[in-house]
Amino acid sequence: MSTADAAGTWKLGDVTVNRMGFGAMRITPNPDRHVAIRVLRRAVELGVNHIDTAAFYRSPGGTLRVGDGEVRYANERIREALAPYPDELVITTKVGPGEDPERGFYHATTAAELRTQVETNLRQLGLDHLDVVNLRIMKKPGADSIAERFGALADLRDAGLIRQLGISNVRADHLDEALAIAPVVCVQNSYAVDLRREEDALIRLCAERDIAYVPFFAIAGPKRESDATPEDSSAVEAIAAQHGVSPQQIRLAWTLHQGANVLAIPGTGNPAQLEENVAAGAIRLSPAELATLG
């Protein structure tokens, strides 16, 4: 059985993580919380020590409920499954998008809103500080400074609520802007073999600066949130058949081959799919196969 360390490691700021991690977004749709708990615990058993989450991750179209009627979010599933947390586990979350009983879904623009979102993550996860917090933005054409929002998170880092900072859904100029304020340990953008290949240059820039690049939608590709099983190209399917693995595993393997600083965070609520995802970290693609996929 392949484990997460087969993909190698990367230093996420001042902590070392296995490059094959886990994304928590897809653990919420199943109303049986025991399945989510089993997936999370199995991930840790398989060597996953980097979990990506967010306070607004919950079941699509409604709230996830258990017998007592309480609302359950992904963070609460993580706490229920894994607390007290292993010392080596790094939990990365994100702020920017949020939910409010009166406004519904919104994007934080003020220091007060960002602090509220940080405190919500702390409460849901049962922590006194967050390992890594990404500022997730709604990217706009032209000049759209992140300095004020990132600076607010840097203040929360100085206050001890956050240990390390990252940014998400950003361009290279956003990274430069953030680095002028505080260290950045990761950039988290959408990216896949068939999605936003213009990101290749940003991956190289991050590598030059010892910054992790953490792609989301690596499996879903252009279908993004709508489907985790896209129609794969004939090249992906052919290479998968040659290796005797699934197209989704080839997509993950290709992602990890894009740079030593690239971390994978595939999400699933299926225990069998979890093991397949982790096993993808052991797949080695030849230069010819990479050229075909590229």
Distance, CA of 110 to CA of 77 (rounded, Å): 28
pLDDT computed for residue 63 by the predictor: 46
Domains of the chain: residue spans and CATH: 4-293 (3.20.20.100)
pLDDT tens digits, 166-197? 999 999 999 999 999 999 999 999 999 987 77
Q: Name the stretches of the chain with pLDDT < 50.
A: 61-69, 71, 226, 228
Out of 57, 73, 191, 213, the active site residue is 57
Active site residue 57: yes
pLDDT computed for residue 226 by the predictor: 45
pLDDT computed for residue 231 by the predictor: 57
pLDDT computed for residue 172 by the predictor: 95
Token pair for residue 221?
Answer: 């590709």
pLDDT computed for residue 67 by the predictor: 44
pLDDT computed for residue 198 by the predictor: 81
pLDDT computed for residue 224 by the predictor: 54
On the 0-12 / 13-18 / 19+ scale of CB atoms within 10 A, 26 is buried
Q: For residue 10, list its beta bridge partners.
A: 17
pTM above 0.95, yes or no: no
